[in-house]
């Protein structure tokens, strides 16, 4: 029997029961939504007494078979940028880490975590959804907004949804910050060109200097720095306090030596201390970064005015919370 099915939409009062052989069937449903009862008072009133403006108008013509085939054809050639592929690969890696995580009691992987497994077939289909999303929205390539659709594709049961949203939010925000930090480096480089910069070391509290590190900025007491500076040939052993301050000790996790003014050698690597000009560049850019982040997030979520579709309101808070963590981290650079 020839059944030219273009898609199937199904609804159920419950998810497929475990261990009843429905896993393969459930895996074929690509986009999954949990529809909860109406919470909004106004929406509940619309349900009971819909106004004419909320009733779909008749006479809307469905797309033809030829148009449908053309949509599929055009969407399949939408480029998938390397950056987006990298994010997908990172998300896949985090899911695999969750699956293989050892139980603290048994020391073995928890069988319950197998629910985070995503088949290669499903990944392939997910990319097709993202390409179609980009095409229907008039974009020339898949972008971050299309990636948010994974929140409705990767989960298996309701309990796994928060974790999926968490790793998706983390991956998206990390990608945005990498791009913005690349812009920061370029901004700082160009801002310094042709300008006389101050080599005066910056101290936020007049007690410590800031050591520029890639991962977590460290601080050193000005008194300790001056002590090292007074005898540059001497090697010191350091220890870190809970507030990321390096203290001079007879033995410790750091081996330090003064190189030249504003430069310390720590464990055989040279690290620069932040200068007054560095700090001003950072302040200027953090303002730009905050504005840029707000702009990006607002683009990901469309308003409800005029019945415009919301990309995913449930992902809004996880992304906002992750951005707050990154903002705090960037402020310490």
pLDDT at position 330: 54
More confident residue, 84 or 299: 84
- Would you state the structure tokens that stand for residue 45, as one six-digit string? 């009133």
- Would you state the structure tokens that stand for residue 218, as one six-digit string? 């460290």
% the chain with pLDDT above 90: 26
pLDDT range class, residue 120, cuts 50, 70, 90: very high
Average pLDDT across the chain, whole number: 80
Label residues 190-203 b or e (16+ Cβ within 10 Å = b): eeeeeeeeeeebbb
Question: Which tens digits make up the pLDDT trace of 13-41?
Answer: 888 888 788 888 888 899 998 888 888 88
- Distance, in Å, from the CA atom of 125 to the CA atom of 128, rounded to the nearest integer, reads 5
Question: Which tens digits make up the pLDDT trace of 192-208?
Answer: 544 445 578 888 888 88
In the numeric block, the tokens 């003064």 are attached to 258
**In Å, how far are 77, 87, 188, 219, 246 from 213, measured between CA atoms?**
42, 25, 16, 10, 13
pLDDT at position 194: 45
pLDDT at position 144: 83
Per-residue pLDDT for 318 more than 80? no
3-class DSSP state for residue 280? helix
214 phi/psi in degrees, rounded to 5: -70, -45
- Distance, in Å, from the CA atom of 298 to the CA atom of 292, rounded to the nearest integer, reads 10
Per-residue pLDDT for 8 more than 80? yes
Per-residue pLDDT for 54 more than 80? no
Per-residue pLDDT for 117 more than 60? yes
């Amino acid at each position: 029997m020839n059944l030219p099915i273009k898609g199937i939409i199904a609804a159920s009062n419950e998810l497929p029961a475990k261990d009843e052989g429905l896993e393969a069937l459930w895996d074929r449903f690509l986009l999954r939504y949990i529809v909860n009862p109406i919470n909004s008072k106004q929406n509940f009133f619309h349900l009971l007494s819909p106004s004419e403006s909320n009733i779909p108008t008749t006479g809307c013509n469905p797309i033809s078979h030829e148009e449908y085939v053309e949509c599929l054809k055009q969407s399949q050639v939408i480029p998938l940028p390397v950056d987006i592929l990298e994010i997908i690969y990172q998300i896949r890696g985090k899911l695999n880490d969750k699956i293989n995580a050892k139980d603290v009691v048994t020391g073995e992987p928890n069988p319950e975590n197998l629910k985070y497994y995503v088949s290669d077939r499903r990944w392939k289909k997910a990319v097709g959804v993202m390409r179609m999303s980009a095409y229907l929205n008039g974009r020339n390539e898949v972008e971050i907004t299309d990636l948010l659709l994974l929140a409705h594709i990767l989960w298996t049961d309701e309990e796994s949804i928060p974790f999926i949203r968490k790793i998706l939010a983390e991956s998206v925000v990390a990608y945005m910050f990498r791009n913005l930090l690349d812009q920061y480096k370029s901004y700082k480089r160009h801002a310094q060109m042709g300008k006389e910069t101050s080599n005066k070391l910056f101290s936020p509290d007049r007690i410590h200097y800031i050591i520029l590190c890639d991962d977590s900025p460290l601080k050193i007491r000005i008194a300790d720095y001056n002590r090292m500076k007074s005898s540059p040939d001497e090697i010191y052993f350091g220890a870190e306090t809970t507030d990321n301050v390096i203290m001079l000790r007879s033995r410790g996790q750091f081996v330090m030596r003064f190189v030249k003014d504003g430069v310390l050698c720590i464990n055989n690597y040279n690290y620069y201390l932040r200068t007054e000009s560095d700090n001003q560049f950072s302040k200027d850019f953090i303002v730009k970064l905050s504005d840029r982040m707000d702009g990006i997030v607002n683009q990901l979520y469309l308003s409800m005015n005029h019945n415009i579709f919301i990309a995913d309101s449930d992902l809004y808070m996880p992304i906002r919370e992750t951005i707050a963590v990154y903002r705090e981290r960037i402020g310490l650079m």
